[in-house]
Amino acid sequence: MSGNLTLLDDTLARAKAEDRAALIAYLPAGFPTVDGGIEAVKAVFEGGADIVEVGLPHSDPVLDGPVIQTADDIALKGGVRIADVLRTVREAHAATGKPVLVMTYWNPVDRYGVERFTAELAEAGGAGCILPDLPVQEAGVWREHAEKHGLGTVFVVAPSSRDERLATITAAGSGFVYAASLMGVTGTRESVGASAENLVGRTRATTDLPVCVGLGVSNAVQAKEVAAFADGVIVGSAFVKLMLDAPDHAAGLTAVRELAAELAEGVRRTS
């Protein structure tokens, strides 16, 4: 069975045709439970997210700040497994028809087996993978199997990336390019930073892939700011924090659905 890279491409192209940025949400699988995590992904889609990244919880998430680390710890203590991540992808995509990616560090995929992981992700209806710690020069085996199964390979670029390096990274990717708005780990911030716009411009000079910005966006004002220059706005920690702070699961679902609706308005670039 082929994965849903084409659906991802079409979703990003449709947002561009509507003269807006796409809203991409991130939530970890298994948080607060496997079933609860599936409900949360569905809720952000209902609120207006175009695409969701499902995080594969990791014991040492080097790119992720304390909010996502806390959620990952809860998921891991709950016994979440790769099968649960794939189930989250399957049920969220089946319920909404929208593109769902997995964001994961390389080690769990390598241990699970690249062929097995890509085949099962495609079978689950996944659109691809974001691999923040997989060097492009070591990604040949992954890219071969991802392409065979119709999955996108999204690499991360940072403000520190030199132009030559950007060209190498974007040439190897598919789906979109994940532009980290600033150096550091994920988390909500007062300002996304001017470096993000510069990075998007430099990245676009190397590729026709959409360039989507993450790390730091947490409200509609920031979403609008980023939507003015990026093809997609990625929001993770703000959703996770709402789930962590909610008095109960139902309240958490309401909160993330409402935030998704606010952000969906923010990415529309209206004056």
Q: What is the pLDDT of residue 65?
A: 79
Q: Listing from the earlier edge strand, what are the strands of the sheet with 100-103? A: 152-154, 128-130, 100-103, 51-55, 22-28, 232-235, 211-214, 177-180, 156-157
Tell me what pLDDT residue 192 has.
57
pTM of the model: 0.94
Q: Catalytic positions, please?
A: 53, 64
- Overall size of the chain counted in residues: 271
Residue with tokens 């706005």: 233
User: DSSP alpha helices (H): ranges in the chain?
Assistant: 5-17, 34-47, 66-77, 82-96, 106-112, 114-123, 140-148, 163-172, 195-204, 220-227, 237-245, 249-266
Q: Of 150, 111, 156, 98, nearest to 128 (Cα)? A: 150
Tell me the three state secondary structure of residue 73. Answer: helix
Nearest CA to 172 out of 201, 205, 207 is that of 207
At residue 216, the pLDDT reads 79
The sign one gets for the Cα dihedral 107, 112, 118, 121 is negative
Low-confidence ranges of the chain (pLDDT < 50): 183-190, 271
Residue 193 tokens read as 């930073």
CB of 31 closer than 8 Å to CB of 200: no
Q: 183 in helix, strand or coil?
A: coil
Q: What is the model's pLDDT at position 186?
A: 45
Cα gap 136→123, rounded to integer Å: 25
Say if residues 154 and 178 touch (Cβ distance below 8 Å). Answer: yes
> What distance in Å separates the CA atoms of residue 218 and residue 189, rounded to the nearest whole number?
7
What is the enclosing helix (H) or strand (E) of 177? strand 177-180
Both tokens of 42, joined, read 């569905």
Digit-coded pLDDT (tens) for 224-264: 999 999 999 999 999 999 999 999 999 999 999 999 999 99
Rounded CA-CA distance 43/9 in Å is 22
DSSP state letter for 21: P
